[in-house]
Amino acid sequence: MTVQKLPIAKAINESLRKAMETDPKVLVMGEDVGKLGGVFRVTDGLFKDFGEDRVIDTPLAESGIVGTAIGLALRGYRPVVEIQFDGFVFPAYDQIVTQLAKMHARALGKIKLPVVVRIPYGGGIGAVEHHSESPEALFAHVAGLKVVSPSNASDAYWMMQQAIQSDDPVIFFEPKRRYWDKGEVDTEAIPAPLHKARTVRAGSDLTLVAYGPMVKVCLEAAAAAQEEGKSIEVVDLRSMSPIDFDAVQASVERTGRLVVVHEAPVFYGAGAEIAARITERCFYHLEAPVLRVGGYHAPYPPARLEEDYLPGLDRVLDAVDRSLAY
């Protein structure tokens, strides 16, 4: 049977397993990814089946993990690196930005860096500090990196396949609070291209653009708005670098209104880039300014406040109302 109902975490696990079975050069490495199977169990069982040579429990040093992954890639391997939590990626930021992103260009294309950096990201799990952040814009800003985030199990499976096959470094943001959300995964389907957006709900009055954990919130908002007679289209961006602006443009040209939603702080976030580009592309189609819903210019708050900080149904609907009021 090729269609299974899987949680996102398990879909990624199955995808890693498939990649490791298919290509002996694929390695999994990170903190606690071996016997434990990772703190979210995304690599569960891989150590048992592929051994410590291919599922590597690393020292607790993120720069070392990414730096040695680069060396392994130069030797011909395809490492899939796990950064345990979003807020732990910064010790590796130098290796990612200064080395991983630029080495292909530095060599005038003569070497390739097929490294996937997996980062469980985002809030909503009641965690302590540094465990709930959304740093995707910090990576999307860097030429040489590709940045993606699945919102559902099927995409999680297929986008991981495609990320591992990519000859470019891919920062793979996993929506950790959706790890246990189940969805159908067809392992023999023909997947959409990695960097194409997908319209997940059709509508005619306004376009909501989101990715990762916020897609679900936007779908719920669209359903609620429907009850009030508003027809909302939801576009799952899937890729933050490159961004499928053509898909967003096509939607906005029909609806005339755009609200971008992400957990990351609004200031300098993906929404700012999308707003600027879509304003330029769709100036005469827009009925209202592009609005953004996201995190505030504040450190991610303590868990008891995260529901106030995170964009939820009501904040999305508030932005929808403000847009429609123009």
Partner 1 sequence: MTVESTAARKPRRSSKRTAGAGARKTAAEPELVQLLTPEGERVEHPDYDVDLSPEELRGLYRDMVLTRRFDAEATSLQRQGELGLWASLLGQEAAQIGSGRALRDDDYVFPTYREHGVAWCRGVDPTNLLGMFRGVNHGGWDPNTNNFHLYTIVIGSQTLHATGYAMGITKDGADSAVVAYFGDGASSQGDVAEAFTFSAVYNAPVVFFCQNNQWAISEPTEKQMRVPLYQRAQGFGFPGVRVDGNDVLACLAVTKSALERARRGEGPTLVEAFTYRMGAHTTSDDPTKYRADEEREAWEAKDPILRLRTYLENAGHADAAFFEELESESETLGKRVREAVRAMPDPEPMAIFENIYADGHALVDEERAQFAAYQASFADGEGN
Catalytic center residues: 131
3-state DSSP assignment of residue 147: strand
CB of 44 closer than 8 Å to CB of 187: no
Q: What is the DSSP code string of 33-94?
A: -STT--TT-TTTTHHHHH-TTTEEEPPS-HHHHHHHHHHHHHTT-EEEEE-SSGGG-GGGHH
Binding mask 215-254 for partner 1 (x = CB under 8 A): --------------------------xxxxx---------
Task: Extract the tokens encoding 222.
Answer: 């669209």
Contact window for partner 1 (CB under 8 A) among 51-59, 117-125, 199-207, 314-322? 51-59
Nearer Cβ to partner 1 (146/238): 146
Nearer Cβ to partner 1 (167/308): 167
> Which one of residues 166, 207, 251, 255 is an interface residue with partner 1 (CB under 8 A)?
166
Q: Does residue number 3 form part of the binding site for partner 1 (CB under 8 A)?
A: no
3-state DSSP assignment of residue 11: helix
How far apart are CB 230 and partner 1 at their closest, in Å?
31
> Which one of residues 72, 171, 185, 218 is an interface residue with partner 1 (CB under 8 A)?
72
How far apart are CB 269 and partner 1 at their closest, in Å?
17
In sequence order, the 6+-apart residues with CB closer than 8 A to the CB of 250 are none
Distance CA 234, CA 140 (A): 22
How far apart are CB 326 and partner 1 at their closest, in Å?
29
3-state DSSP assignment of residue 130: coil
Contact window for partner 1 (CB under 8 A) among 125-133, 160-168, 294-302, 316-324? 160-168
3-state DSSP assignment of residue 241: strand
Number of CB atoms found within 10 A of residue 52's CB: 10
Q: Does residue number 64 form part of the binding site for partner 1 (CB under 8 A)?
A: yes
Nearer Cβ to partner 1 (282/320): 282
Q: Does residue number 198 form part of the binding site for partner 1 (CB under 8 A)?
A: no
Distance CA 48, CA 92 (A): 27
Residues touching partner 1, count (CB under 8 A): 47
Per CB under 8 A, residues contacting partner 1 are: 53, 58-59, 61, 63-64, 66-77, 91, 94-95, 98-99, 102-113, 143-144, 146, 166-168, 195, 241-245
